């Protein structure tokens, strides 16, 4: 009867090279896997080399090895799955001749690859949003601009590209509304809070902007998305503009608000804003009141968006 080492030798030296014609790099990877597996059996399972056989190596032992790679050796799930694929390939090769041990071989072949845990989308809590905005030095012109950018990102749940394409004609300060142009050139109407409105007025006056884009470069064109990303990353390298959008959506969901009704136009793809206005009229008032519960308490700071006592704005949203 051919033993485990015989099959392994032929698998690495003949099958992979002659029949599969795999690269030398792949063969090295296969060899490394079996070196690790055999070392694990000897050192961790106290087995002698002669005892490493098809009869003695069980499914549970292979699973232990895979867990060892992940937990002790800190291999990624992807690497763990690659090692398992190598083991599967070997046992599949052996299954043709090792009929006597086919049951044990089939059990090892039944080991499934491990699915990586889905990463929970990161977001900032209401308190973290408040702290982040409050940390901006508004004694400088750049600081006041940055505060406006970040306030708009959260206030409107806008994408970076929507912020940089925002024009003065899209801002309706009297009604406390902005019109955002998103993907596919689709537009949606979004309310802004009283203090965000004040920040916009202050910014326009300070920078003498009377037409065109809200955030302009030296040639009066819109800024790049890098402009927004750099402002966000100036507060933390781990942050991205999209985290403000996720945070706003999360805060609404936490308060029991169905955020879909807030973006009727975006979801239905209306190109004519008047069409959206007709749909917006049917939004129930109790849903709008729920927005208040989703809003962070930003205290008495005048420079930060206040989401608490703006009943007029909620009524405006109801009667778009």
* Local confidence band at 259 (pLDDT 50, 70, 90 cut-offs): low
d(CA 319, CA 34): 69
Span 198-223, mean pLDDT? 94
3-state secondary structure of 236: coil
Q: Look at residue 287 and tell me whether its pLDDT is greater than 70.
A: no
Q: What percent of the chain has pLDDT over 90?
A: 54
d(CA 301, CA 130): 10
Q: What percent of the chain has pLDDT over 70?
A: 77
Pick 273 or 129 by higher pLDDT: 129
pTM listed for this prediction? 0.52
pLDDT value at position 119? 61
Span 130-143, mean pLDDT? 92
Q: Look at residue 273 and tell me whether its pLDDT is greater than 90.
A: no
pLDDT value at position 260? 54
* Local confidence band at 118 (pLDDT 50, 70, 90 cut-offs): low
Instruction: Please classify residue 68 by burial: count the beta carbons closer than 10 Å to its beta carbon, then call 0-12 exposed, 13-18 middle and 19+ buried.
Output: middle
* Local confidence band at 280 (pLDDT 50, 70, 90 cut-offs): very low
Q: Spell out the residues 6+ positions from residue 18 whose beta carbon is closer than 8 angstroms to its own.
A: none
Closest CA to 85 of 28, 21, 15, 33: 33
């Amino acid at each position: 009867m051919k033993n485990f080492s015989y099959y392994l030798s032929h698998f690495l030296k003949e099958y992979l090279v002659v029949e599969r014609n795999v690269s030398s790099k792949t063969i090295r990877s296969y060899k490394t896997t079996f070196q690790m597996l055999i070392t694990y059996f000897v050192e961790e399972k106290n087995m002698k080399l002669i005892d490493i056989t098809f009869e003695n190596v069980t499914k549970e032992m292979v699973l232990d090895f895979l867990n060892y790679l992940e937990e002790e050796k800190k291999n990624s799930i992807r690497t763990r799955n690659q090692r398992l694929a190598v083991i599967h390939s070997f046992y599949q090769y052996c299954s043709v001749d090792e009929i006597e041990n086919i049951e044990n071989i089939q059990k090892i072949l039944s080991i499934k690859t491990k699915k990586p845990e889905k990463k929970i989308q990161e977001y900032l809590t209401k308190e973290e949003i408040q702290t982040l905005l409050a940390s901006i030095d508004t004694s400088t012109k750049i600081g006041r601009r940055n505060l406006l950018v970040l306030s708009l990102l959260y206030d409107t749940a806008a994408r970076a590209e929507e912020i940089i394409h925002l024009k003065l004609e899209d801002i309706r300060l009297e009604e406390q509304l902005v019109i955002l142009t998103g993907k596919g050139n689709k537009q949606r109407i979004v309310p802004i809070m009283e203090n965000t409105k004040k920040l916009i007025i202050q910014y326009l006056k300070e920078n003498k902007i009377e037409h065109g884009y809200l955030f302009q470069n030296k040639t009066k064109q819109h800024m790049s998305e890098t402009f927004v990303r750099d402002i966000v990353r100036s507060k933390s390298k781990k942050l991205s503009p999209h985290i403000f959008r996720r945070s706003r959506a999360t805060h609404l969901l936490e308060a029991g608000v169905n955020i879909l009704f807030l973006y009727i136009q975006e979801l239905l793809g209306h190109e004519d804003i008047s069409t959206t206005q007709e749909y917006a009229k049917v939004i129930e008032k109790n849903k709008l009141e729920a927005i208040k519960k989703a809003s962070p308490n930003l205290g008495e700071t005048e420079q930060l968006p206040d989401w608490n006592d703006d009943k007029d704005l909620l009524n405006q949203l109801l009667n778009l």
